[in-house]
Structure 1
Amino acid sequence: MTVLDNRALNRATLARQFLLDRTGAPALDVIAHLCGMQAQEPQEPFAGLWSRVRDFRPATLDGLLTGRHVVRTHLMRRTVHLVTAADALAWRSRHDTMLRRRVLTTYRRELAGLDPDEVAAAGREVMADGRPRTMAELVDALAVRRPAPPRRALGELLVAALIPMAQLPPRGLWRTKAGVRNLPLATWLGRDIAPLPADGSDPAGQALVRRYLAAFGPATSADLRAWCGLAGLPAAVDAVRGELVAFRDERGRQLLDLPDAPRPDPGTPAPVRFLPAFDNAILGYHDRSRIVDDAHRGLSVAGARVVLADGRVSATWDATAGATAGTTVGTVTVTPLRRLSRSEHAAVIEEGRSLAAFLSDGDSDRVRIDPSAA
């Protein structure tokens, strides 16, 4: 069985994440290909799409959100994701058990003795009037809180697990600060959520396996589970195994993949790329060593924005406000995690200037590399 080393896996990941070459595909198609984008920080998907899509403009994503083509909702790993409307409706039922279990486990003491089905029914009754509500407003409207559990725990149970919700615009729009207003997914999108098949089959799980490998493969079953958090995936993998090819990594673990998915030559040059906080390319794996050193693994869960050089996490970055009134971004500051070569330094400056211009709508192209860092 062919062995793929870390560099081969790195280049495959970059190619499938549109980080080896930017794509000219529409942003909607890119979001679908990526199986959604993690989006608990509302502005981060803009930088993620800019790094992947040629000539991306923020108004494009704004239009997809307000036009109800994409939606912000709790999905993989109980985190807020930006996904296409079609995927949200097709996948949500498959995630219900995981979402409920994770919230009930997190708040097991606070929610002890509570009947989730009773709470869900009461919540749906409240939301039936079609009026968007904040989590606090929904909790206030419930008449089943006797005795009342802690408000945060009850609210999380309702909006993240029991009732499939969409987080409505203006939340997630470009340069917009807005609280979360929730509305049931089916109400917002005008279509019903696909139910789980009564015969016990798992077409959604099988689709997730194929879609995950298209965007993240080659990968192990553990990587797949870490990405979505779902149980029962071994059966879905077995169901589609005949469609897949298998490799080994350097540790001898089996890697699964789609036969025709891109696996570039490991020597393919990788451009500098700036990634947003919680980017798919890093968080989509249990073993993230293909893209980040173990010493820096914690950055990915701490919400650090990172810079890829030669395909690997080599620096962090941040954007500071401009000194001129009305200027959102003044300078992109890069903090290296290792010594950058002369060519890497120049490439970071060039890409950073483009990012600063994007974030500031052309008001600034200033980049600063922290001289005190590695």
Structure 2
Amino acid sequence: MNYLNGTSLVNPHMKLLYKLPDMEQQAVERVSQDIPEIPSATEPHPHTMKLGEFIAHSHLFGRVKAGVWLKKGFSRVHEGVLNDLVKGGIKKGLFEKSVDALTESDFKELFIALQNMKLMAPSTRSVLSIGEESLAKSIGRIGTVDFFSVVSRKPTICDFKPVQVEVAVARLEDRAVEPDSSVQVLRFANRVPLQFDKAACAIVQSINSVNWRAYGIAQPKGGLPIGPYIIAVSVVSPFIKFKNASKETIDASDELVEEIRRALIQAGQRLSKHLRKETKASELEEKIRHIEQFGPILVEGLVDIAKASAARKKKAEEGLMKILGRDTSAAQQELDVAHAKLEAQQAAKQLEMNDLENDLESEAGV
């Protein structure tokens, strides 16, 4: 189920039908009509390869000249780079040789020269993002949540590879979890859920490195935060480096961990703002409750002591409510605005779902 839930989360355009043993067929409707466009492919950057990978890559090009292979087979390698290699000591005739004719020492010479050369970072146009809006629509498909924060970072370069990190932090409406149970972590690499061997994964290490206590979530030292939360992290790149052959653990390079960490911090800051508003609302409600409970008793006692009239008693009660208004008017206004925004979002979501149902009915009629 975790795999299916994760797949539906990062593919909001997908309608999922599945049937498990002893269950009726289940349907997860799509929440977005935007079909993702497949980005143009990009070649690997020379700085991302080891010598063995560099040599193996040449075998994909057959009997072409080494210069042609370098320009067509790698990102950011062009004629100017080849000229710089010649200036750096590479023989020009080496580029005229067929790739099949290159010796191991030739490959090693080219490889070392490219590694020592400063090259442009690869393009980031090859990453396929989900998008904050689509991810926000999809978050409700993993469970009933009462708050979520979604962050979609701009594509960037980590270890000379184009990467985009997207994060969703959601608080479950059902709080019936063990007090010391860790948050549920959903990891994705190119929209594929990762199920096993999470301890060494870059995503988990990034989550552990964030001080979640600063954002209102309990966290043991050096461990995952605890509470009724789901933290979903998606890493998208045409060249994701995994730690093992099963491709269940993303390699925790410093640059990638830092990029994921920044996205998590942004999501945590948004969560913190929401929790502070909740605290204000709770304090406001508690204050009103106390005044309503003890205010009349206080007024009654003062009236008895001062032998005041009924009119004076009424004025005292009104004055007490004015004091309460001065203390809580700002918080009440913030609370009203928050409720209005929530109702508007719910109305918009309901309207969108109605349109979707109408479209589906129209398709079925056709």
TM bracket (short chain) = under 0.3
Normalising by structure 2, we get a TM-score of 0.25
More helix by share: 2
Structure exhibiting the larger radius of gyration computed from Cα positions = 2
User: Which protein has greater RCO, CA pairs closer than 8 Å, 6+ apart?
Assistant: 1
